[in-house]
Amino acid sequence: DLTAAMLRTFVRWRDVSAIVSVGCCYNLLTESQDAAPGLPHQTPVAEGAEPAVGREAQGAARVSTPAGMVCVPYTARAPEGVEGFPMSTAGQALGLPLGREGRTLACQSAEQWASTSAAATATMFQGHVFRAALEMVLARHFPDVNPWTLQLGARGRRLRRNAAQGPVAPECSEPGAASADCAMFAGYVRAVLQHAQLTGRVTDDELRAVWEEVAPHSNLVGIFWTLRATLAGPLEALILADRLMFLHESVPSTDALPQHEGAGPNLLAAVPVFHPNVSPRNMAIVASRAISPAGL
């Protein structure tokens, strides 16, 4: 909530005459309500210990893992009145929570997707296919493990690369399997399970069966993610509009301020400061206001 804190500081400290803010990391914003109770963050804590995650964890069910850890679902929240979204009265009246999925999606950039090479895009989509198939394995063979506990990130990409360079897995050597992709998937799953200390509960035939079920539909993943990315712009616009409305509601108009020589008009705008291909977060919120000479 760094940007939200900056804007609130600007509003409260009347001797601050201007602010320029370029936001980022919308996925880390706190919200005034839980918009996605089924898609929580997960915080591992030692067995028997009480997690210090605030009021949202009270009464939440714990999920045990083979590693002797428990995961308590929670959604990021802040004390009432200082949430990162919505900030404005208008935004609160709208009653349109984003949830973790919405906040994460607001970070996407259609412009950067358009400039990505076909090979890089195919690799990215393959990662999404593997992740979806991995979650099928977890649901069928490790139902006590919440998939949100396996946040792999760059490690997942490294595991896929290593799997591609490894030997053909025995479960994918039989006729009828797309051996190259199947072998890569099997190696990826086994590496993830080993990393998560979830070993010895999936047979070769079970992994092969999951991949053969997923493979015919793998091309749909790219279509889904492309359509999904088109929502990024409107979601980011909603966050930016909420911040602009907060400043509009909170900073008095120029007419209400004492006028003096050299005092300029109030300014409030969202300005594109560079091309979105340089950075997907290219919109700067700019605000200024007239202040008395004593505040200069």
pLDDT digits (tens, 9 = 90+) for 123-161: 888 888 999 999 999 999 998 888 777 766 555 566 666
CA distance 52 to 180: 45
Q: For 55-76, what is the mean pLDDT?
A: 36
**Residue 58 confidence (pLDDT) above 50:** no
Mean model confidence pLDDT for the chain: 75
Report residue 105's pLDDT band, with 50, 70 and 90 as the boundaries: very high
Percent of the chain with pLDDT over 70: 67
- Domain residue spans of the chain: 2-40+78-107+232-295, 41-74, 112-217
- Which residue from 70, 78, 12, 76 is spatially nearest to 44, judged by alpha carbons? 70
User: Where does the pLDDT of residue 6 fall: very low under 50, low under 70, confident under 90, or very high at 90 and above?
Assistant: very high
Q: Taking the complete model, does pTM exceed 0.75, yes or no?
A: no
209 CA to centre of own chain: 31
Task: List pLDDT tens digits, range 10-50.
Answer: 999 888 889 999 988 899 999 976 544 433 333 333 333 33
CB 3, CB 28: distance < 8 Å:
no
Matching residue, tokens 């409107």: 234
Q: What is the mean pLDDT of residues 254-267?
A: 50
Question: Over the stretch 165-201, which tens digit does the pLDDT of each residue have?
Answer: 555 455 565 544 457 788 889 888 888 888 888 877 7
What local confidence, expressed as pLDDT, does residue 257 receive? 42
Of residues 114 and 93, more confidently modeled: 93
What mean pLDDT comes out for the span 244-268? 66
Q: In the predicted model, is pLDDT for residue 65 greater than 80?
A: no
How confident is the model at residue 263, as a pLDDT?
A: 45
> Is 173 or 232 the better-scoring residue by pLDDT?
232
* Higher local confidence (pLDDT), 201 or 208: 208
Cβ contacts of residue 87 below 8 Å, gap of 6+? 4, 7, 8, 242, 243, 245, 246
Residue 162 or residue 186, greater confidence: 186
Q: What is the mean pLDDT of residues 211-222?
A: 92
Mean pLDDT of the region 214-220? 92
The pLDDT of 94-112, averaged and rounded, is: 88
